[in-house]
Amino acid sequence: MTPTPLHLVAALDGAGWHPAAWREPDARPRELLRAGYWVDLAAEAEAGLLDAVTIEDALNLQSDDPFTPDDRTDRVRGRLDAVLVASRVAPTTRHLGFLPTAVVTHTEPFHLSKAIATLDYVSTGRAGVRVQVAARPDTATHFGRREFPPVDRASAATGPLVTELFDEAAEYVEVLRRLWDSWEDDAEIRDAATGRFVDVDKLHYVDFEGRSFSVRGPSITPRPPQGQPVVAALGHAQVPWRLIGRSADLGFVTPTDAADAARLVTAVREEQAAAGRAEETVHVFGDLVVVLDDEETTARERLARLDERAGTAFTSDAHVFTGTPAQLADLLADWQQAGLTGFRLRPATLPHDLRQVTRGLVPELQRRGLFRTGYEADTLRGLLGLTRPANRYAHA
Amino acid sequence: MTTQIRKQIHLAAHFPGVNNTTVWSDPASGSHVEFASFREFAQIAERGKLDFLFLAEGLRLREQNDRIYDLDVVGRPDTFTVLAALAAVTERIGLTGTINSTFNEPYEVARQFASLDHLSDGRAAWNVVTSWDAFTGENFRRGGFLAQADRYDRAKSFLQTALELFDSWRGDEVLADADSGTFLTDPHPGAFGHRDRFFDISGHFDVPRSPQGRPVVFQAGDSDEGRDFAAASADVIFSRHSTLEAGQAFYTDVKGRLPRFGRTREELLIMPAATFVLGDTEAEARDLAHEVRMAQVSPATAIAFLEQLWNRDLSDHDPDGPLPSVDPLVGEHTIAKGRASVRMHRDPVATADEWRAKAEVEGLTTRELIVEVTGRQSFIGTPAAVAATIDEYVQADASDGFVLAPHITPGGLGPFVDQVVPLLQERGVFRADYEGTTLREHLGLPLRRTDGESAVAS
């Protein structure tokens, strides 16, 4: 039986996911906010035929602890708006998809909808967005519109605020999708005879009334090339898995081993079915931090050196894989059997571990028939095997 | 040869959006959404060494008679996203975007502009506009919450807050010294706190200081309040004064306000919007200008304009007949929604009387009258004549330059760049090439204050 090719996404953030990554010899720590740095990373990802890159973001300074700010001066701090980074880089590429992170807790769906639609225009059909909630009180004070209590670690994934924010995120995605559909594809008619630029019968008010907000519509940006850009979300627990099941085309989960991967896939599939979307394609990708070298010992030594410089052993919400590209290929093939359709690889250091993915892992997977040997589509939906959706407002 | 120092002219290009200046029915008119159009437009403007390109913004599709207005271009992409993408396909030209201060939050907008300034190596500019209407508010969580009287107050507070965020990083915090392991010199960079009637926010801004320190700030607005707002805090003010005399009066007034805010005449540029029609002869240019006007004001568009002043349904009115004898409806409700020009009709009945008198004296039909009263064609003539007129306006202090809006998208700027710009360069009043890399340098603006003070009107 021919194996099913898997999908690969690279997760880009700063100098890489290891806190000492910026101190590596090939790091460019003074260029992390410059366009050229991101252009080069995207070119590398595209040379490796990856489906897409994600670009991390938040509306607060990075900190070692995900829930509270810190005052460390030995870590990368400061970041650019991920949607704008993606937009700056997209015209320099031809096939790579872009999944910038957008915080949906303190922003307006109307603004994000037109921004992602526009990213789809400037990339000619390669846009998506990874939606993220922000429960930290120090992020809320940047906006002053609502107050959050300190995050309770014990119930960080289950507390009432978390449920509220993820429910709100689901409403938010519903508004994004309705706004993307609020113009039918052929609404622009330019009928010189009647003087009408658009057919107003093909523009639709979305009239969304939710618990958190209401939006009238239609969008000011016409329906984007993909119809619906790809919506992604990362989840570590039931409440976020529910968001993936209800709202996403692509879910990122964080398995610890193949059995855990199977459990997480099942959990997402149950939420997907509960949301009445069992027939729809929802990808579930496994997230892994990767420390890769041609020899396993080299990778282990490099991680040890990075840990020493960071002053602490590196841990992550995702499994940290240390070894060779061939060993990683074994693991990916194994976990794929558990039901994952792809992986989001988080390079521990940039550009080193990204190059190990594109120049080591990808050829290895290709040899095994597990990865594409050329881009087979011009859109992100096409690369992910997602069809272009019909417009919910269009009636034949 | 004269030894008199001639003012250098500032020129910019406006990508035309949703209004009747765009002749979308022309076969040369391209998409207003596809990125290829924006790229072509930006590259033409950069070929002409223009200071910046300018994008407007809309947050609700316009309506008239409770229907989406369909006679002009409808729809446009997101301002920030297009500008960031244009930074990839241009090298020097400034990237100016309108962003509303009513339906946004300062932290988010400051973050986006600081990001754009980084991603463009110092070419970002923000045209701060205000809006208050509930109609637009229906697309946002906050809804239509802002009283009209509050709009400048909130805008001032918004801009002040954003400037504080831009200034929250001094610029020396990122050391990134790998050997010592010191990334930051400051454990709490970007600290800010702002509390007033509109915003009560605090924390840490998460974008380090951008190449220009802060983006260039643009303002539009002709009211006394608007002029003060610009004199206090803007680097450039857009205006719409198209005659020499009106331009000079505006120029004198606004520049005269600057000392009150501790600023010099060089710290605020005045750049009116302008259109142009070029021909090989004066007669050819005039004929083409007439054709353009007739295309811009179709019979249906003439009626739509008439309805906006009369504030009532006039769909049965004959565009080729006289103006309506019935008077405009005056009241809170407006038949046209989301259209900025509607707010300019302060006394519709008096305006209608003026229009009737003009139509009577000049023997104009409804459509001809609308063509006359809505026309703002600035420069019509041969390239040599247009170059001379632009130079004359600037040297006479009617403006510091112009923001050009071609009537064809995206190629309409080409003839100006290829035929008029070289003549201005020959006259020694326009740059032969970019001398700096940032927009602030193109505009000849003094380096912005570094003391963290910003002079927003209080």
B87 touches chain A (CB under 8 A): yes
CB atoms inside a 10 Å sphere around CB B333: 8
Is residue B413's pLDDT more than 60? yes
**How far is the C-alpha of A311 from the C-alpha of A20, rounded, in Å?**
9
Name residue, tokens 């999908």: A7
**How far is the C-alpha of B299 from the C-alpha of B319, rounded, in Å?**
6
Share of chain B above pLDDT 70, in %: 95
**How far is the C-alpha of B185 from the C-alpha of B173, rounded, in Å?**
5
User: Phi, psi (5° rounding) for residue A159?
Assistant: -60, 165
- The answer to whether residues B99 and B58 touch, using CB atoms and an 8 Å cutoff, is no
Coil, helix or strand at residue A209? strand
| Nearest CB neighbour to A115, from listed B81, B115, B119 | B81
- What kind and span of H or E run contains B280? none
Tens-place pLDDT, residues B78-135: 999 999 999 999 999 999 999 998 899 999 999 999 999 999 999 999 999 887 688 9
In chain B, residues with a C-beta closer than 8 Å to the C-beta of A24 are 178
- The answer to whether residues B381 and B356 touch, using CB atoms and an 8 Å cutoff, is no
**How far is the C-alpha of A315 from the C-alpha of A18, rounded, in Å?**
9
A25: pLDDT confidence band, cut at 50, 70 and 90? very high
Inter-chain residue contact A121 with B33, CB threshold 8 Å: yes
| Nearest CB neighbour to B78, from listed A139, A197, A221 | A221
Inter-chain residue contact A29 with B298, CB threshold 8 Å: no
**How far is the C-alpha of A287 from the C-alpha of A293, rounded, in Å?**
19
User: Phi, psi (5° rounding) for residue A390?
Assistant: -65, 155
Residues contacting A276, CB < 8 A, separation 6+:
none
A159: pLDDT confidence band, cut at 50, 70 and 90? confident
Q: Find, among A130, A39, A16, A40, the residue nearest to A90 by Cα.
A: A39
Question: Within its chain, how far is the Cα of B381 from the centroid?
Answer: 24
CB atoms inside a 10 Å sphere around CB B1: 3
**How far is the C-alpha of A160 from the C-alpha of A148, rounded, in Å?**
11
Q: Find, among A81, A63, A85, the residue nearest to A72 by Cα.
A: A63
| Tally of helices (H runs) and strands (E runs) in chain B | 15, 17
Is residue B453's pLDDT more than 80? no
**How far is the C-alpha of A175 from the C-alpha of A183, rounded, in Å?**
14
Q: Find, among A223, A186, A176, the residue nearest to A396 by Cα.
A: A186
Q: Tokens standing for B137?
A: 């508010």
Q: At what angle are helices B244-257 and B224-233 packed, to 10 degrees?
A: 60
B341: pLDDT confidence band, cut at 50, 70 and 90? low
Measured between alpha carbons, how far is residue A348 from residues A254, A299, A309 in Å?
16, 11, 14
B4: pLDDT confidence band, cut at 50, 70 and 90? low
| pLDDT on residue B455 | 41
**How far is the C-alpha of B41 from the C-alpha of B18, rounded, in Å?**
16
The C-alpha R_g of chain B, in whole angstroms, comes to: 23
DSSP codes joined into one string, A231-265: EEEE-SSHHHHHHHHHH-SEEEE--SSHHHHHHHH
Name residue, tokens 């709202």: A247
Q: Which class for B8: exposed (0-12), middle (13-18), buried (19 or more C-beta within 10 A)?
A: middle
Q: Which class for B455: exposed (0-12), middle (13-18), buried (19 or more C-beta within 10 A)?
A: middle
| Nearest CB neighbour to B118, from listed A29, A80, A203 | A80
Q: Considering only residues 26 to 45 of chain B, which have any Cβ-Cβ distance to chain A shorter than 8 Å?
A: 33-35, 39
Which chain B residue shows the shortest CA-CA distance from A103? B108
Is residue B290's pLDDT more than 90? yes
> Cis (ω within 30 of 0) for the bond into A351?
yes
B108 touches chain A (CB under 8 A): yes
Q: Considering only residues 171 to 190 of chain B, which have any Cβ-Cβ distance to chain A shorter than 8 Å?
A: 174, 176, 178, 181-190
Q: At what angle are helices A35-47 and A82-89 packed, to 10 degrees?
A: 70
**How far is the C-alpha of B414 from the C-alpha of B41, rounded, in Å?**
8
Q: Find, among A281, A257, A286, A255, the residue nearest to A269 by Cα.
A: A281
In chain B, residues with a C-beta closer than 8 Å to the C-beta of A72 are 184, 187
The mean pLDDT of B405-410, rounded to a whole number, is: 96
Q: Tokens standing for B186?
A: 């400051």
- What kind and span of H or E run contains B407? none
- Residue with the bigger pLDDT between A33 and A156: it is A33
Q: Which of A13, A57, A87, A202 to mutate to test the interface with B (most CBs of B within 10 A)?
A: A87
**How far is the C-alpha of B221 from the C-alpha of B230, rounded, in Å?**
8
B245: pLDDT confidence band, cut at 50, 70 and 90? very high
| pLDDT on residue B343 | 64
Which neighbouring-strand residues pair with A129? A231
Please, what is the Cα angle at B455 between B452 and B458, to 5 degrees? Answer: 125
**How far is the C-alpha of B174 from the C-alpha of A265, rounded, in Å?**
42
User: Where are any strands of DSSP class E within B222-368?
Assistant: 236-239, 269-274, 276-278, 336-337
ipTM field: 0.98
Residues contacting A20, CB < 8 A, separation 6+:
A306, A307, A309, A310, B181
Q: Find, among B233, B266, B257, the residue nearest to B454 by Cα.
A: B233
The mean pLDDT of B148-161, rounded to a whole number, is: 87
- Identity of residue B356: R
User: Where are any strands of DSSP class E within B222-318?
Assistant: 236-239, 269-274, 276-278
Q: Tokens standing for A159?
A: 């507390």
Inter-chain residue contact B187 with A110, CB threshold 8 Å: no
Is residue B379's pLDDT more than 50? yes
Strand-strand pairing, B191-195 and B200-204 = antiparallel
**How far is the C-alpha of B120 from the C-alpha of B82, rounded, in Å?**
12
**How far is the C-alpha of B340 from the C-alpha of B220, rounded, in Å?**
12
Q: Find, among A124, A128, A137, the residue nearest to A173 by Cα.
A: A128
Inter-chain residue contact A144 with B34, CB threshold 8 Å: no
Which neighbouring-strand residues pair with B213? B210
The mean pLDDT of B274-288, rounded to a whole number, is: 97
Which neighbouring-strand residues pair with B227? none
Share of chain A above pLDDT 70, in %: 99
Name residue, tokens 């990334």: B183
- The answer to whether residues B288 and B307 touch, using CB atoms and an 8 Å cutoff, is no
The mean pLDDT of A67-93, rounded to a whole number, is: 97
| pLDDT on residue B447 | 67
- The answer to whether residues B457 and B233 touch, using CB atoms and an 8 Å cutoff, is yes
In chain B, residues with a C-beta closer than 8 Å to the C-beta of A81 are 80, 111-112, 115, 207
**How far is the C-alpha of B59 from the C-alpha of B75, rounded, in Å?**
10
| Nearest CB neighbour to B78, from listed A73, A115, A183 | A115
Query: How far away is chain A from the Cα of B134, in angstroms, using its nearest Cα?
Result: 11
Question: Secondary structure of B207-233 in the HEC alphabet?
Answer: CCCECCECCEEEEECCCHHHHHHHHHH
Q: Find, among A141, A158, A391, the residue nearest to B203 by Cα.
A: A141
| pLDDT on residue A1 | 61
> Cis (ω within 30 of 0) for the bond into B446?
no
- The answer to whether residues A108 and B103 touch, using CB atoms and an 8 Å cutoff, is yes
Q: Find, among A36, A4, A26, the residue nearest to A347 by Cα.
A: A26
- The answer to whether residues B223 and B253 touch, using CB atoms and an 8 Å cutoff, is no
Is residue A318's pLDDT more than 90? yes
Q: Considering only residues 256 to 315 of chain B, which have any Cβ-Cβ distance to chain A shorter than 8 Å?
A: 298-301
**How far is the C-alpha of A180 from the C-alpha of A226, rounded, in Å?**
10
Q: What rounded mean pLDDT belongs to chain B? A: 92
Tens-place pLDDT, residues B387-406: 999 999 999 999 999 999 99
The mean pLDDT of A380-387, rounded to a whole number, is: 97
| pLDDT on residue B54 | 97
The mean pLDDT of A271-291, rounded to a whole number, is: 98
**How far is the C-alpha of A362 from the C-alpha of A355, rounded, in Å?**
10
B448: pLDDT confidence band, cut at 50, 70 and 90? low
Is residue A363's pLDDT more than 90? yes
